[in-house]
A and B are shown apart, each in its own frame.
Chain A
Amino acid sequence: MPISGVVIKCQMERLGELERELHRPGSVEISNVLGDGSLIAVIESASLEEEISLVKNIMAVQGVLDVRVAYHNFEDQLMAE
């Protein structure tokens, strides 16, 4: 099960709303809100494919400017291959 840490760049005005909107315990957990308009989130998913689609979905949310992966763990994935 891949786990990622991502930085979500948001429009300043929408930062508060997005923090609530994007937070989905068990898949997307917002851990930090930064002063420069970034959200720090941890993404958990069942597979790489699911994770990629999760990131894509976040990217599509209005007010989200950019999503960058800063950390990715996929150890289990490798073992499974």
Chain B
Amino acid sequence: MALSRRDFLKASAAAAALAAATGGRLGATDVHAAEGGIRWGKAPCRFCGTGCGVLVGVKDGRIVATKGDPAAPVNKGLNCIKGYFLSKVLYGKDRLTKPLIRKGNKMVEASWDEAMDLIASKFRESIAKHGPDSVAMFGSGQWTVFEGYAAAKLFKAGIGTNNIEPNARFCMASAVTGFMTTFNSDEPMGCYDDLDLGDTYFLWGANMAECHPVLFSRLIDNRLKNPKVKIIDFGTRFTRTSQMADKYIRFNPQTDLALLNAIAHIIVRDRLYDENFIRKHVVFKKGKTNIGYGLEDKFKFADDPKPMTFDEYREFLKPYTPEYVSKLSGVPAKTIEEVARLYADKSRKVNSLWTMGFNQHVRGTWVNNLVYNVHLLTGKICKPGENPMSLTGQPSACGTAREVGTFTHRLPADMVVMNEEHRKKAAEIWGVPAEKIPAKPTYHATEMFRALDRGDIKVLWVQVTNPFQSAPNLSRYRKGARKGGDRFIIVSDIYPTRSTELADVVLPSASWVEKEGFFGNAERRGQQWFKMVEPPGEARNDLWQTMELARRLGHGNLFPYKYVEKEMFEEYRKFTLGQGKDLAPYEAYTKARGLRWPVVNGKETLWRYTEGYDPYVKAGEGVKFYKNKPNDYKAVIWARPYEPAAEAPDRQYPFWLCTGRVLEQWHTGTMTGRVPELKRAYGGAVCEIHPEDAKRLKVKHGDKVRVTSRRGSIVLTADLRGRGKAEKGNVFVAFFDENKMINELCIDAYCPISGEPDYKKCAVKLEKA
């Protein structure tokens, strides 16, 4: 071999080895990162509602590392792959660092003063001309408690409008109305410990393996330890959860209503219920039927609950025979019988877990009611290891949206604006006259975007979320936002998104540990963190942004705090004390790895309504649904019938379309999409099709298919080999991809009671593209 060639090879070898050792970046400076000098602080993960604890490593003003917090009870040092890359989500190249103001088709950099002056003038102008209900705030379950609280206080007690909504309306509003109608208090009785303590788990419309990864790993561990454990997955699509479940039961979309009634039918028919529990703790009710789908603008619905007897309920259940429901649902009658017996088996500790399959449902409130029915009939509720559990998808859907009450109709701690007593109490704590808080709810999320489209809402401020990618029937609302006239849209975010592109003003926000924060997870656990790094450029906290608008609108007196976060929290805490929703003093959260409310005398509550665990239940009471005063402290079993979906497949649009998440990407992908490793792991949305359907359409794996609904059309890559297997006649598309916005196809039909849209069911056709 020639000497020069040999030298070259040696040099290449050395260079390649060097590259491998330094991660491909010659001159890598992070070689020294491991050498120490890192300061660690605690925070909950920024993504889903699980609420894993992480330790954040900061050096030279930058997050250089994160790791699962071994002291965090939820995850004990583990994370999913999104949590693993937390250190990168804030450092995308295109972070917004300066306020931007629209000048024609261009966004021009501006100072904070210019931007806030402009926003304040638009608010003032609109309120003067069109009244306070012409301005609105759309936030999210990613708001910290402080941000949500400040926004709610400013809008309800300052501006004097109930025009405030979170994207949580798109996500778990049906869970809220489910809890409220059955128990008259939001949020679960159980906690994650039930994942370790139970032995029978029914999953309904929940792909836990991908959407609650760390909780799923906890559930599976329970089964590894205890051979008795059974996991039964009810779904309309075969997922990674189905793969690991003991049994996968596929059912036709929307028939979960009928299935749950059939399970109740069998339990009642064969007297498998817990008579004692029913007598002591349950009342029966029915509401209106044939309640509509909210497809027309300004749709209004008010239920009219009527009491009924157990016998009348028994009559109501009569038609839901296993045979009838089998035909409807596609689940064999024998399987329905087996499932009912498992639910009722006295030797089993039964849990139900659900997510968006239930909540994003035109009868979302009903289906939540129906799963509680089964637990109430069998008395399998409010016991360690035996509970129905609604899982959430955003880090503070519970802590902020639900508990602070950033919905149009809500006030903190389960209170509502329609109730005079509640308004009085809120006004007192907020230091405003009671008349200030309007008694009528205005628009829930979908109606809010309809109002913007019609022009009834003129000024809309969007914080910490991306509705112009996540709303259903997206095209209508995207067009509506740019119709001009008096419309003025402000979007606060950390990256350019499909919502910032429609904004008149874009405000650069601080995120996660760039500010002090507080999230509440799905098991009632409140978790606090301190600010650890400065936000980039001129980016600022959304909390500051809201208070700055308040100051400019003359409502600065609503926020008279020095240590804003702490004093605001202590004020908010007053709402919770004595209500069974008690939060601990702020101090306590700065030290603990989260505490589950009610926290009374420094002690957290694992199981609500349960003697020995919940301090509100007296000795000898056993179980007491003490929040349900209107129903004599009993829970409600609701007679809710099966009613069809808003739109079902027909000859023209023969497929069901379902949307959802994948493990690697979160929500609309604005954060996870900035992590190259996650992008490489799952880069773009694909369309899952059943192989037989594909064959009929002459579509092969990897081919392009056009998916079309009555509202939109999109070209996607067909996926016949993927992690999720579509059932025949169904397709599935993830909604994170900003370049393939599947929500344009989704129908904006919603549950009339909760106002939550059905992202899981609409009719589409497929063509080879």
Chain A residues within 8 Å of B, Cβ to Cβ: 1, 3-7, 29, 31-32, 34-36, 38, 40-44, 68, 70-73, 76
Interface flag for B225 (CB, 8 Å): no
**A5 contacts B32, C-beta separation under 8 Å:** no
Most chain A Cβ neighbours within 10 Å, of B13, B14, B16, B18: B13
Query: For residue A73, which residues in chain B have a CB less than 8 angstroms away from its CB?
Result: 9, 12-13
The chain B residues found within 8 Å of chain A, CB to CB, are 1, 6, 9-10, 12-22, 31-32, 34-35
Q: Please measure, in the bound complex, the distance between the C-alpha atom of A72 and the C-alpha atom of B12, giving whole angstroms.
A: 9
For B31, give its contact among A1, A36, A70, A72 (CB under 8 Å). A36
Cβ contact within 8 Å between B31 and A71: no
B16 touches A70 (CB 8 A): yes
Residues of the A chain whose Cβ atoms lie less than 8 Å from the Cβ of B15: 5, 71
Contact B31 A5 (CB under 8 A): no
CB of A3 within 8 A of CB of B17, answer no
Contacts beyond the supplied A5-B18, A36-B32, A71-B12: 15 A-B pairs with Cβ under 8 Å: A3-B6, A3-B9, A3-B10, A4-B13, A5-B14, A5-B17, A31-B17, A31-B18, A36-B31, A36-B34, A41-B14, A42-B13, A42-B17, A70-B21, A71-B13
Min CB gap B709→A, angstroms? 51
Q: List 17 A-B contacts (CB under 8 A).
A: A3-B9, A5-B13, A5-B17, A5-B20, A6-B17, A7-B17, A36-B31, A36-B32, A40-B18, A41-B14, A42-B14, A44-B10, A70-B16, A70-B21, A71-B13, A71-B15, A71-B16
Instruction: Quote the shortest CB–CB distance from A44 to chain B (angstroms).
Output: 7
Q: How far is the CA of A25 from the CA of B384 in the complex (A)?
A: 69
Q: Which residue of A lies closest to B20 (CB)?
A: A70
Q: Given contacts A3-B10, A5-B14, are A40 and B21 in contact (CB under 8 A)?
A: yes
Chain A residues contacting B6 (CB-CB under 8 Å) are 3
Q: Tell whether, in the assembled complex, residue B31 and residue A41 are in contact, meaning their CB atoms are under 8 Å apart.
A: no
Q: List residues of chain A with CB within 8 A of the CB of B31.
A: 34-36
Shortest Cβ distance from A72 into chain B, in angstroms? 8
What distance in Å separates the Cβ of A40 from its nearest Cβ neighbour in chain B? 5
With A and B bound together, what is the CA distance between A76 and B1 in angstroms?
Answer: 9
The 3 lowest CB-CB distance pairs between A and B, nearest first, are A5-B13, A5-B17, A71-B16
Asked if A71 and B1 make an inter-chain contact with CB atoms under 8 angstroms apart, the answer reads: no
Q: How far is the CA of A28 from the CA of B578 in the complex (A)?
A: 74
A76 to B5, CA, bound (A): 12
How near does chain A come to B7, taking the closest CB pair, in angstroms?
10
Chain A residues with CB below 8 A from B10, complex form = 3, 29, 42, 44
Partner of B20, one of A1, A31, A43, A68: A68
Q: Which residues of B contact A42 (CB under 8 A)?
A: 10, 13-14, 17
**Which residues of chain A are within 8 angstroms of B19 by Cβ–Cβ distance?**
70
B1:A41 contact, CB within 8 angstroms: no
Q: Which residue of B lies closest to A69 (CB)?
A: B17
Contact, CB under 8 Å: A5 / B12: yes
Contact of B13 among A3, A34, A35, A38 (CB under 8 A): A3
Cα(A34)–Cα(B26), bound, Å: 11
Say yes or no: B9 contacts A7, CB within 8 Å: no
| Contact between chains at A7 and B32 (CB < 8 Å) | no
A7 to chain B, nearest CB (A): 4
Chain B minimum-CB-distance residue to A38: B21
Least Cβ distance of A22 to chain B in Å? 14
Question: What residues of A have a CB within 8 angstroms of the CB of B35 in the complex?
Answer: 35
Chain B residues whose CB sits within 8 angstroms of the CB of A41 once the complex forms: 14, 17
Bound: A71/B736 CA distance, A: 38
> CA–CA, A70 to B6, complex, Å?
17
Complex: chain A residue closest to B19, CB-CB:
A70
In the complex, how many angstroms separate the beta carbon of A4 from the nearest chain B beta carbon? 6
Measured in the bound complex, the distance between the Cα atoms of B18 and A32 in whole Å is 8
CB neighbours of B20 from chain A (8 A): 5, 7, 68, 70-71
Q: In angstroms, how far is the closest chain A Cβ from the Cβ of B529?
A: 30
CA distance A38 to B19 in the complex (A): 12
How long is the Cα–Cα vector from A34 to B22 in the complex, in angstroms? Answer: 9
Give the interface centre of B14, B17, B18, B19 by most chain A CB atoms within 10 Å. Answer: B17
* Bound complex: CA A5 to CA B21 (Å): 11
Complex contact B14–A40 (CB within 8 A) = yes
Quick check: A5 and B34 within 8 Å, CB to CB?
Answer: no
Name which residue of chain A comes closest to B16, CB basis. Answer: A71
Give chain A residues whose Cβ lies under 8 Å from the Cβ of B17. 5-7, 31, 40-42, 70-71
